[in-house]
Amino acid sequence: MDALPGFRSGAEGPDESNNIKVSIELKEGNEWRFEVPFKLTMILKVTQGIGEIFGTELPTNSELELSGVKYSVYAPLPEGCTLEYYLKLSKENSNTSNEGSEISEYISEDNCMAQYMNLHFALESKRQEISDFNYLNPNETKTGPKILIIGGKYSGKTTLSKILSSYAFKMDRQPMLVNLNPRDGVFSIPGSLTSTPISDNFDLESIGGYGGTVTSGTTYHNPKQPIVKNYGFEDFNTNMDLYKHQIESLGAVTIERLKKDITIKNSGCIIDTPPLTMKNYDIIETIISEFQVDYIVVLGNEKLLADLKRKLNHKIVSQQLLIIKVPKSEGVVELEDTYIRKCQEESIKEYFNGNFRNPLSPFKTEITLDDFTIFKVIETSEFNSSLMFAPAGDSFEPDATDENDEKKKEEEYDKYFKKIEDFSTNNLENLIIAITHTPLSNKSLKDILNSDVQGYIHVSKFEESKNKLKVLLPVPGAFPKCNLISTNIGYTE
Amino acid sequence: MEAVEQFKKTLSQLTFNSRPIIDALTAAAGSNVEVADQILDAITARIYQVKPIEKLFTLYLLDSICKTVNNPYNILIGDEVFKLFSHVYLLSDESVRGKLSNLFITWKQTKTRDKLPLFPVNQLEKIQQFLDKARNNENERLVRIIDELVPTFESKLNNQYSDKLREKLEALKQLRNILKTSTLKKNELQSIESQLSTIKQQELGSPLPPNVSIKSPTKLPSSLPMAPSSLPSAPSSLPSAPSSLPSAPSLPNNPKLPVVPSLPSMPASLPSMPSSLPSIPHQSPVQESMEIDNYEPDFQNGNNYNGNNSNNGSSFDAPSFPTKANEIFDSLINVGIITFEQDFKGPRTFDINYPKVINRSTGLMETIKNSQVPRNDYEKLKFNELSKFKIDNFQGFINNSKLSIQCKKLLYDSKNLKCSNCGKRFNNNELDKKKLHLDWHFRINKKFKNGSVQSRNWYLDEDEWVKFKDENLLEFQISENPIVSQPIVEEEVPYVVIPSTETNMNNKCLICREIVKGTFNDDLGEWCWVNCIVPPGETSPRIVHANCYNETKKRHGDDLNGIVKREKLT
């Protein structure tokens, strides 16, 4: 945690003039790891050689502005890489959190990039084989490698998935990046699960380092077009049934896209996950079957590797699945909860307001609650406790009428989500609500639950007297007449 | 007058591919534009008179002059390029023809400073047709090669039956049918040819101990094989290249060449050649030094060309002054039988990978099939590198494999057009794409300076998303016509005539909300909002920028009703 020599700023007061330029020289294979708090902005550029951040190559002599990041620049080629940076205070975040006010940085000679690159080339070799095959056999096409990345907390899963997607893109592929970790919003906000074809570079300056999605005009970087499923909690454990359900529904649509798009099909999928363990084996199994996973990459966890190999032996023997391990990078840092929370907030903010390069203007409007049906995702613990008080025996009536059947069907969905009957400040205010694609006329709970997200709104105020919600709408225009599902993700502007 | 004489004198020294001479002559041509016609006469005369191989170098000179100086040279010679080109092509052997094709590719892509084609379009088209015809004959030639091979296979089969051999024979016969019946692309033909050469060596030649490593301190021209180049099928028809080797003994002691390069010498007969590969090293420093200073036609006259541009579109002709041995050696590199580590500093190590491709379980048919897959230059390079891998053990490969520098470069320099704004890379032959990309940056920077307001769009629903193509998100539409440049059609600038009832000349775009000022159009005699249209379902004065409209439409299907509804809410 070396402080930058000669640089003392932050709490003591702003000193814009003090942007001393520091130069860093990396030899081939070295990695420069650095953390920049939200309070500061690092202006970074490559002056010589080639450097990349998680597979995304940096432009030469063109400045990047990074804030609130934990990144590393890797020098892949013999010519090495020379970087230059200086710091300034971030305008917006200078007084927000109680995080440190200094950057930390060091050069590491010992990293796993060589193995990660080998992994990429091995996969690319497979992609080549498959795309050649598909070209020659257009009627019986195969799908490129579908890679599931698994590892414990802080093992670098997301980093690896970024590296693999970037490298694949650089070799003219268009891999599908699937994010199953609801903690991070990938091309969306936290609480969502997404699949996104990677058809261009990642935008390192954006929160999370992924980049933006389509907007009404041109963007600074080419946008991506994800499909978004709403899970609604940041922890996948909160409602395992719902989580699994949404994995299934995301898997189905993803596979459907692969069928329609040969470029993506040749390239395959890269699936990033939350820290799953053997306790979550059923989830792992769901992912494998829904996404037709044929490669599992385990990050630095021998025990998990051995357990998975044992459990999935039948698939390995029949050559449907290959389980590979790669070492965990020493550079992975443990994230503090406050940092995670801050990132989530920033990514929601970015969804509505854009970032410094690409400011967006959200739209404030009011909706009358009577006009809408709002559902809310349910915590499993809450659902279980509600069961305890439910009158027993109702649903086990042997001579159930048709009406009862329907009711029973509806009850099936109780464990996932429930219609909000009594609105209150508590269950609405400052929450993020997902707008589904199902029109209000469609009352089918199944359709509503399976529907993908059209966009998110933020409830800034519940006006009980008028029975109205003041909301922040990302897209100007009419409020879609669609069913709404409230998430459990909170946000204050 | 003197200048012309001087020019002619230097021109007569152009008996080998020498960059300095070509550069000097180009400079001379550039500073003596007033005698351009005489200079061109001298060059044309030389092209018609000299030995085939020297014709090529003279053509290179012409290329260099036209690309560097442009006007008047490219215009004066314009109507003759087809004649010159076809003349040289007809009298050249395969390897030179390959280079000529590459030269032609650069002609198609090079634009003069005025953004015009380098040579008249009708001449270029003539050359294109000529080349297409010439390539059709290639089919016949390959069929002949197969015909030569088939009896050998049959006699081998008679002596010693094996399924593998049987399978190969079948494959060959099938390939023969394909060649007989269908027209193939140039690159397909090239790869088939190289495969055939491999088979020829394997079947006709004596067996070779696998994986012999020759440690040779040779510094070969570092241009990497782009594509399997054609092996000279009929060595006897080669122009007498070796005899035209200039005796320039002054070079061996050149201090710039610390390592005395040596090339393994090879008997000229192709079939038995590989077995004698590791034998007596042959000293050829002269040649070496010349290769370093080769002229290679580049898109914009390769002033910055250096040998490290491993995959310049036109650089797969490594030693452009071949002795037979050198040429064969090169061909072997091209088909991947000999590989080397591209290490710019140390001595180079060559490995012989005796037909590894074929030994792999995929089998011959697979290999031949793979060669039918069309690949651009980058993909070829990638294919070559990736097929060097032997991934029997995935885990082992990840743990232990040490990637060669060429391989790593596939992620970097192999696509050597890097955008200085965002670091995105483009293939060398994607100049057009890069241009579009830069235009896009420019447009966006301008737009952001103007501080336009925009908002996020909705995510697509499942049906739309499944059908969505990501190309629509990118800065360029895929256009497949880089060859003949169409004259730029002046597109009509859209405008909306300001209604006479309107008192406010200032309006705003419903999408980006930018203020649009009214301007007076002299031709129409009306006040207009230029570059704007009235979106469908709207009436003037409700307008949007034509660009805003198209971009929104492109991104989000035809549903633009959002605009209408928004106004109602605000």
Q: Which of A133, A216, A302, A449 to mutate to test the interface with B (most CBs of B within 10 A)?
A: A216
For B561, the closest chain A residue by CA position comes to A477
B470 in contact with A, Cβ within 8 Å = yes
For A55, the closest chain B residue by CA position comes to B411
Q: In this complex, which of A132, A362, A454 lies closest to B455 when CB atoms are compared?
A: A362
Q: What was the pLDDT predicted at A32?
A: 96
Asked whether residue A156 falls in the same domain as residue A185, the answer is: yes
Specify if A404 maps to a domain: no
Q: Which of A117, A166, A189, A218 to mutate to test the interface with B (most CBs of B within 10 A)?
A: A218
Asked whether residue A96 falls in the same domain as residue A149, the answer is: no
Q: What was the pLDDT predicted at B350?
A: 58
Q: In this complex, which of A117, A167, A216 lies closest to B511 when CB atoms are compared?
A: A216
Separation of CA B403 from chain center: 25
Tell me the C-alpha distance between B53 and B51, whole Å.
6
Residue A10: closest CA among A84, A86, A70, A90: A90
Least Cα separation, residue A245 to chain B (angstroms):
16
Sheet (strand B519-521) strand order: B495-497, B526-530, B519-521
- Cβ separation B555–A214 shorter than 8 A: yes
- Cβ separation A452–B459 shorter than 8 A: yes
Tell me the C-alpha distance between A212 and B70, whole Å.
45
pLDDT digits (tens, 9 = 90+) for B361-419: 445 556 666 677 888 888 888 988 888 888 888 899 999 888 999 899 999 988 888 98
Tell me the C-alpha distance between B132 and B104, whole Å.
12
Q: What was the pLDDT predicted at B369?
A: 64
pLDDT digits (tens, 9 = 90+) for B115-167: 788 888 888 888 888 887 776 666 777 777 777 777 777 777 777 767 777 77
Per-residue pLDDT band for B81 (boundaries 50, 70, 90) equals confident
Asked whether residue A139 falls in the same domain as residue A176, the answer is: yes
Asked whether residue A209 falls in the same domain as residue A84, the answer is: no
Tell me the C-alpha distance between A24 and A22, whole Å.
7
Chain A residues in contact with B410 (beta carbon < 8 A): 171
**Domain limits for position A229:** 113-326
pLDDT digits (tens, 9 = 90+) for B515-527: 887 777 777 777 7
Tell me the C-alpha distance between A199 and A214, whole Å.
13
Residue B92 neighbours by CB under 8 Å, 6+ apart? B52, B53, B55, B56, B100, B239
Going from N- to C-terminal start, the domains of chain B cover 208-409, 415-481, 495-569
Tell me the C-alpha distance between B273 and A189, whole Å.
64
Q: What was the pLDDT predicted at A22?
A: 93
Query: Who wins on pLDDT, B265 or B15?
Result: B15
Tell me the C-alpha distance between A122 and A129, whole Å.
11
- Cβ separation B562–A132 shorter than 8 A: no
Q: In this complex, which of B369, B422, B443 lies closest to A201 when CB atoms are compared?
A: B422
- Cβ separation B422–A221 shorter than 8 A: yes
For A362, the closest chain B residue by CA position comes to B455
Q: What was the pLDDT predicted at A84?
A: 95
User: Which DSSP category does B223 fall into?
Assistant: P
Separation of CA A465 from chain center: 38
Q: Please state, in angstroms and as integers, the Cα–Cα distance from residue B86 to each residue in A44, A274, B91, B365, following that order.
A: 54, 64, 9, 36
Tell me the C-alpha distance between A468 and A471, whole Å.
9
Residue B303 neighbours by CB under 8 Å, 6+ apart? B68
A247-256, B79-88, B346-355, B387-396: range with lowest mean pLDDT: B346-355
pTM, rounded to two decimals: 0.61
Q: What was the pLDDT predicted at B349?
A: 56
Structure tokens at A463: 């006006």
- Cβ separation B458–A454 shorter than 8 A: yes
Q: Please state, in angstroms and as integers, the Cα–Cα distance from residue B325 to each residue in A258, A266, B197, B260, B282, following that order.
A: 49, 41, 16, 17, 10
Chain B residues in contact with A47 (beta carbon < 8 A): none
Residue B259: what residue type?
V
Q: What was the pLDDT predicted at A122?
A: 94
Q: What was the pLDDT predicted at A434?
A: 95
Q: What was the pLDDT predicted at B9?
A: 86
Q: What was the pLDDT predicted at A66?
A: 94
Residue A113: closest CA among A170, A67, A73: A73
Specify if A295 maps to a domain: yes
- Cβ separation A476–B397 shorter than 8 A: no
For A215, the closest chain B residue by CA position comes to B456
Give me the mean pLDDT over the B9-37 stretch. Answer: 85
- Map residue B196 onto helix, strand or coil: helix
Residue B3: what residue type?
A
Q: What was the pLDDT predicted at B181?
A: 64
Q: What is the 3-state secondary structure (H, E, C) of A67-125?
A: CCEEEEEECCCCCCEEEEEEEEECCCCCCCCCCCCCCEEEEECCCCHHHHHHHHHHHHH
Query: Who wins on pLDDT, B484 or B297?
Result: B297
Render each residue's pLDDT in chain A as its tens digit; 493 residues.
Answer: 444 444 444 444 444 556 789 999 999 999 999 999 998 999 999 999 999 999 999 999 999 999 999 999 999 999 999 999 999 888 765 555 566 778 899 999 888 999 999 999 999 999 999 999 898 888 889 999 999 999 999 999 999 999 999 999 999 999 999 999 999 989 999 999 999 999 999 999 998 899 888 877 667 788 899 999 999 999 999 999 999 999 999 999 999 999 999 999 999 999 999 999 999 999 999 999 999 999 999 998 899 999 999 999 999 999 899 999 999 998 888 888 889 999 999 999 999 998 888 888 888 999 999 889 999 999 988 888 877 665 554 554 445 456 666 666 777 888 899 898 888 888 888 999 999 999 999 989 999 999 999 999 999 999 888 889 999 999 887 889 999 999 999 998 7
Least Cα separation, residue A117 to chain B (angstroms):
8
Residues forming beta bridges with residue A147, ordered by sequence position? A270, A295
Q: What was the pLDDT predicted at B162?
A: 72
Q: Which of B455, B476, B513, B555 to mutate to test the interface with A (most CBs of A within 10 A)?
A: B455
Please, are residues B143 and B170 in contact by the beta-carbon 8 Å criterion?
Answer: no
Chain B residues in contact with A361 (beta carbon < 8 A): 453-455
Q: What was the pLDDT predicted at B370?
A: 67
Tell me the C-alpha distance between B59 and B65, whole Å.
10
Q: Please state, in angstroms and as integers, the Cα–Cα distance from residue A103 to each residue in A37, A86, A335, B240, B433, following that order.
A: 7, 11, 15, 68, 39
Q: What was the pLDDT predicted at A391?
A: 54
Specify if A395 maps to a domain: no
Which runs of consecutive H residues, i.e. helices, occur in B183-248? 186-204
- Cβ separation A117–B403 shorter than 8 A: yes
Asked whether residue A91 falls in the same domain as residue A189, the answer is: no
Q: What was the pLDDT predicted at B206?
A: 42
- Map residue A144 onto helix, strand or coil: coil
Residues forming beta bridges with residue A10, ordered by sequence position? A13
Specify if A401 maps to a domain: no
pLDDT digits (tens, 9 = 90+) for B447-478: 777 766 788 889 999 999 999 988 888 776 44
Asked whether residue A96 falls in the same domain as residue A221, the answer is: no
Least Cα separation, residue A491 to chain B (angstroms):
18
| pLDDT-above-90 percentage for chain B | 4
Q: Which of B369, B456, B474, B478 to mutate to test the interface with A (most CBs of A within 10 A)?
A: B456
- Cβ separation A170–B405 shorter than 8 A: no
Mean pLDDT (chain B, rounded): 68
Specify if A390 maps to a domain: no
B425 in contact with A, Cβ within 8 Å = yes
- Map residue B238 onto helix, strand or coil: coil
Chain B residues in contact with A352 (beta carbon < 8 A): 456
Specify if A249 maps to a domain: yes
Tell me the C-alpha distance between B206 and B187, whole Å.
29
Please, are residues A121 and B357 in contact by the beta-carbon 8 Å criterion?
Answer: no
CATH value at residue A145: 3.40.50.300
pLDDT digits (tens, 9 = 90+) for A256-309: 999 999 999 999 999 999 999 999 999 999 999 999 999 999 998 899 999 999
Tell me the C-alpha distance between A377 and A488, whole Å.
7
CATH value at residue A91: 2.60.120.1030
Per-residue pLDDT band for B358 (boundaries 50, 70, 90) equals very low
Q: In this complex, which of A222, A357, A478 lies closest to B562 when CB atoms are compared?
A: A478
Specify if A399 maps to a domain: no
Asked whether residue A266 falls in the same domain as residue A254, the answer is: yes
Specify if A387 maps to a domain: no
For B456, the closest chain A residue by CA position comes to A215
Q: Among A90, A110, A130, give the residue marking a domain's end.
A: A110
Radius of gyration for chain B, computed over Cα atoms and rounded to the nearest angstrom: 29
**Would you say residue B331 has pLDDT above 70?**
no
Is omega for the bond preceding B319 within 30 degrees of 0, making it cis?
no
Least Cα separation, residue A401 to chain B (angstroms):
35
Asked whether residue A297 falls in the same domain as residue A246, the answer is: yes
Residue A39: what residue type?
K
Q: What was the pLDDT predicted at B273?
A: 39
The domain tally of chain A equals 3
